Amino acid sequence: MKAVSLLSGGLDSATTLAIAISMGYEVYPITFRYGQRHSREIESAMKISEYYGRELKIIDVSLDRIGGSALTSGYDVPERSDVSDIGEGIPVTYVPARNTIFLAIALSYAEAIGAEKIFIGVNAIDYSGYPDCRPEYIEEFNRLSRLATKVGVEGRPIEIVAPLINMTKAQIIKKGKELNVPYHLTWSCYRGGKKACGRCDSCLLRLKGFMEAGEVDPLDYETYPEFYLRYLEGKR
């Protein structure tokens, strides 16, 4: 059984890849160089693929030429000190229709290689409010898969699977620890420094997840939010 797995290099996509492998699929990871601010997530995706002995397919999609996001253009990445207001509205880090573009390419790739599933690590619980991370979005894309592909018309549709969709970040991390996901190789920060910033939404959600899972994030950070510092103090 073949499956394509979208691998951004982040915590969620790495866990999703591990889940797909644990289910017995011959997994083909795919990632995208889409004009993002930095190359750290691509580097992480390559390291994770190597860790699992998989060959990573890298696709170039120049979304930076379209703009509209702090992840691909000159907008500033928002900084926060806490997670309390994350998810209130769609943030400027949303990349217009990114998952739709990525899934469309993954669907083409899956059909070309005869894969049955596409795994994607979207999550609608501890997330930044992106519209293309919701269960109803995945449902509609599965409908598209049935309608818009040869295998779908023939009654063998490729299924988009989102195993993390209703899990908290802590639950995701616990599952990943069970599967020995190499979280030290992952990268979640919206910035591409030598260390994760500890101030963007993605860093805060990640640190909150490790805290609530009772684990310590193996990455180094430029700064830590107060809630995580208090947690680390309690671990000593």
Residue 79: CATH number of its domain: 3.40.50.620
Residue 183 and residue 11 in contact, taking contact as beta carbons nearer than 8 Å: yes
Is 203 a domain residue? no
- Treating both helix axes as pointing N-terminal to C-terminal, what angle do 169-178 and 11-22 enclose, rounded to 10 degrees? 50
pLDDT of residue 16: 98
The domain of 22 spans: 2-188
Is 168 a domain residue? yes
Mean pLDDT score of the chain = 91
Give the sign of the dihedral formed by CA 28, CA 32, CA 33, CA 37. negative
Cα-based distances in Å from 92 to 82, 99, 138: 17, 16, 22
Residue 67, Cα to own-chain centre: how many angstroms?
20
Is 232 a domain residue? no
Tokens read off for 193:
């420094």
If we measure between CA atoms, which residue out of 90, 17, 2 comes closest to residue 48?
17
Is 11 a domain residue? yes
Is 212 a domain residue? no
For tokens 């693929």, name the residue. Answer: 49
Residue 24 and residue 189 in contact, taking contact as beta carbons nearer than 8 Å: no
Cα-based distances in Å from 164 to 53, 114, 122, 151, 197: 23, 24, 6, 26, 25
For the chain, the domain total comes to 1
pLDDT of residue 118: 98
Would you place residue 65 in the very low, low, confident or very high pLDDT band (cuts 50, 70, 90)? Answer: confident
Is 231 a domain residue? no
Is 221 a domain residue? no
The mean pLDDT of 86-96, rounded to a whole number, is 71
Is 236 a domain residue? no
The mean pLDDT of 50-74, rounded to a whole number, is 85
Other residues' Cβ atoms within 10 Å of the Cβ of residue 103: 23
CA angle 74, 80, 84 (to 5 degrees): 130
Tokens read off for 174:
């616990």
Under 8 Å CB-to-CB from 102, ≥6 apart: which residues? 6, 32, 61, 120
Report the alpha-carbon distance of residue 1 to residue 24 in Å, rounded: 8
Would you place residue 213 in the very low, low, confident or very high pLDDT band (cuts 50, 70, 90)? Answer: very high
